[in-house]
Amino acid sequence: MNVFSQLEQRRNWSEDERILLDQVRRVAEEVIAPNAARYDAEETFPKDSVDAIKALGLNAIFVPEAYGGAPMSYRLYLAVVQAISEACASTGIIYATTFHGMKPLIDFGSEEQKQRLLPRIAQGALASLAITEATAGSDATAMKTRFTPDGDEVVIDGGKLFITSGDVADLLLVFGKWSEIDDARGAITALIVEKNTPGFEITGIEKKLGHRASSTAGLAFSGARVPRANILGKPGEGLALLLASLNKSRPSIAAHALGIATAAFRDMVAYMNTRVQSGRRVIDFQGNQFMLADLVAELAMAENWLDHVAALIEGGGAEFGVEASIAKLRASDLAMRMATEAVQMHGGYGYIRDLRVERLLRDAKITQIWEGTNQVHRQLIGRSFIDR
Ligand SMILES: Cc1cc2nc3c(=O)[nH]c(=O)nc-3n(C[C@H](O)[C@H](O)[C@H](O)COP(=O)(O)OP(=O)(O)OC[C@H]3O[C@@H](n4cnc5c(N)ncnc54)[C@H](O)[C@@H]3O)c2cc1C
């Protein structure tokens, strides 16, 4: 038995968690993985795969019971993201993005908001998280989208860029600045926008290197009106809410990257065990074994670090930002390295579109860029050592 089968066997899942994970892996293998190449080639929404996730009720595992959910551990949620992403990174990010968009509502929303909005999510609706703008990327505080109060409504003007599932999401958590607060950071506010809100439209869908089945949309708001009751927390509380939420979405992004890394690892090992050159299998060359050993060591450590971060979050701790950054940084760098080596070990065949490793290499790159570029994460980790 190899080290990964042993690691998986020794992971301490409850009976219910084990049953659900087995179901997710079966659906990933039978429905999601076989469709992934086609959706990538067609650059279309992976409907069968998303429907399969909905049929399994996977949104319900992160929605509280009071709002129609059937909550399970955060660690299990991460394992589900990893398993789906291993089969299809695009489907994995669509699923994870609903969590990223709705977790702040679960953690900071009012009772009325949760009762009104969360049952739809529990039943499989999609969500988006809209922060980035043309001039506000790594520095989200530079955002310009404006929220102007008008009686019982808030008027939204501005635009968002690169929003995952922005065109298909039923609910979007949108960040902007409260017009009555004159402070670049203190004005940031979050509110929920529903699909089909008049004045909200999609300006375009990006053509991308990877994740081609996951749409990345531009959004425009011109006098779009939402009820004031859709504000999360109070006007001006958006930045604190954003930072707290990112700490929970970054481990999820790490799990997604580890899914890509695991897929690349499996394809690489399988090929190395069969491809023969100079009378020996590619895996028989010691230099290649050393390369595998380094990657496997990194994968095992990254998986275990993610379990550690999940335990911190489940334990109710508030201070896990650096740990979340370490998880995101290492998992995404590993996904890129693993996919690169997987292509390399396939030789010329790895460069051909027929094989999955070609897609994995394209899918891996963005994991180093989104949810805070890895430069930003290195900064967050490094500056935590500065004496104050
Ligand atoms: C496919 C895709 C999906 C996305 N999905 C979403 C989404 O759903 N919601 C959303 O809100 N956004 C989303 N994004 C946006 C993504 O999070 C941003 O692209 C990312 O945060 C980087 O911002 P930027 O592209 O403006 O790059 P910039 O911030 O302009 O960075 C350019 C370069 O400068 C470096 N840099 C910037 N600041 C620093 C610094 N302080 N120190 C050192 N180097 C620095 C960066 O690391 C990078 O290498 C998505 C993007 C893509 C491509």
At 388 the pLDDT is 86
Q: Which of 3-12, 22-31, 147-156, 364-373 has the lowest mean pLDDT?
A: 3-12
Contacts of 103 (CB under 8 A, 6+ apart): 62, 245, 248, 249
Query: Which has more pLDDT, 1 or 218?
Result: 218
User: Which ligand 1 atom minimizes the distance to the CA of 164?
Assistant: 8
Calculate how far, in angstroms, residue 376's C-alpha sits from the geometric centre of ligand 1: 9
Q: Give the model's confidence band at 93: pLDDT under 50 very low, under 70 low, under 90 confident, else very high.
A: very high
Q: What CA–CA distance (Å, rounded) separates 337 from 374?
A: 14
Measured on CA atoms in the order 225, 231, 237, 242, is the torsion positive or negative? negative
Classify residue 369 by its DSSP letter.
T
Q: What CA–CA distance (Å, rounded) separates 381 from 343?
A: 31
Which helix (H) or strand (E) is 97 found in, with range?
A: helix 89-108
> Considering only CA atoms, which of 175, 181, 337 is closest in space to residue 241?
175
Contact 253, 328 (CB under 8 A): yes
Q: Amino acid identity, residue 47?
A: K
Tell me, letter by letter, the H, E, C secondary structure of 14-65. CHHHHHHHHHHHHHHHHHHHHHHHHHHHHCCCCHHHHHHHHHHCHHHHHCCH
Calculate how far, in angstroms, residue 369's C-alpha sits from the geometric centre of ligand 1: 6
Is residue 127 lining ligand 1, measured as CB closer than 6 Å? Answer: no
3-state SS, residue 193: strand
Task: Say whether 371 is catalytic.
Answer: yes
Is residue 271 lining ligand 1, measured as CB closer than 6 Å? Answer: no
Calculate how far, in angstroms, residue 90's C-alpha sits from the geometric centre of ligand 1: 18
The protein residue whose alpha carbon is closest to atom 12 in ligand 1 is 132
Integer CA distances (angstroms), 143 to 314, 330, 371, in order = 32, 28, 16
User: Is the per-residue pLDDT at 215 higher than 90?
Assistant: yes
User: Is the per-residue pLDDT at 82 higher than 90?
Assistant: yes
Calculate how far, in angstroms, residue 218's C-alpha sits from the geometric centre of ligand 1: 15
User: Is the per-residue pLDDT at 1 higher than 80?
Assistant: no
Is residue 249 lining ligand 1, measured as CB closer than 6 Å? Answer: no
pLDDT digits (tens, 9 = 90+) for 130-144: 999 999 999 999 999
pLDDT digits (tens, 9 = 90+) for 39-70: 999 999 999 999 999 999 999 999 999 999 99
pLDDT digits (tens, 9 = 90+) for 218-276: 999 999 999 999 999 999 999 999 998 898 999 999 999 999 999 999 999 999 999 99
User: Which ligand 1 atom minimizes the distance to the CA of 165?
Assistant: 8
Q: How many CA atoms lie within 13 A of 365 on its CB side?
A: 10
Contact 323, 248 (CB under 8 A): no
Is residue 217 lining ligand 1, measured as CB closer than 6 Å? Answer: no
The protein residue whose alpha carbon is closest to atom 2 in ligand 1 is 162
Is residue 137 lining ligand 1, measured as CB closer than 6 Å? Answer: yes
Residue 92 tokens, joined: 């994995």
Ligand 1 pocket test, candidate residues 161, 162, 163, 328, most atoms within 8 A of CB: 162
At 243 the pLDDT is 92
User: Is the per-residue pLDDT at 9 higher than 80?
Assistant: no
**Helix-then-strand count for the chain, H and E:** 12, 10
Angle subtended at Cα 60 by Cα 57 and Cα 63, rounded to the nearest 5 degrees: 170
At 11 the pLDDT is 81
User: Is the per-residue pLDDT at 12 higher than 90?
Assistant: no
Mean pLDDT of 285-302: 97
Tell me which residue has tokens 């409260």. 178
At 41 the pLDDT is 98
User: Is the per-residue pLDDT at 96 higher than 80?
Assistant: yes
Calculate how far, in angstroms, residue 121's C-alpha sits from the geometric centre of ligand 1: 27
